[in-house]
Amino acid sequence: MNIETLMMLIYVLVLATFVGFELINKVPPTLHTPLMSGSNAISGITIVGAIICSGTLGYTSIGKWLGLFALILATINVVGGYAVTDRMLQMFKKK
């Protein structure tokens, strides 16, 4: 990775972090649990990495198997996380 690419990625990181701070700062406490569970589902984005690693060819490669294991875990995190958050939010009703 050359220095330009790295700097660009660091810019992305810093700006995204600020966006994250701004977005979450005003969330009312009522929503803290769904928010946590929702952002937990989002952290399953590592599934993208897992797919890339699983995509390598050759069943003798340890790297590939590590990737596939990561893929299963990340999918549990993503699917379970979104489903459970939706179940919770469905209950938040105003009468």
- Report in angstroms how near the CB of residue 84 gets to other proteins at its nearest: 4
- Report in angstroms how near the CB of residue 22 gets to other proteins at its nearest: 9
Q: Which of residues 28-67 bind other proteins (CB under 8 A)?
A: 28-57, 61-64, 66-67
The Cα-based distances of 81 to 39, 72, 94 in angstroms read 8, 14, 24
Q: Which structure tokens are listed for 14?
A: 């810093």
Whole-number Å distance between alpha carbons of 10 and 13: 5
Q: Which of residues 5-24 bind other proteins (CB under 8 A)?
A: 5-6, 9, 12-13, 16-21, 23-24
- Report in angstroms how near the CB of residue 92 gets to other proteins at its nearest: 5
Asked if 4 interacts with other proteins (CB under 8 A), we say no
Q: Which of residues 68-87 bind other proteins (CB under 8 A)?
A: 68-87
Q: For residues 75 and 47, is the Cβ–Cβ distance under 8 A?
A: yes
Q: Nearest CA to 35 among 91, 72, 88?
A: 88
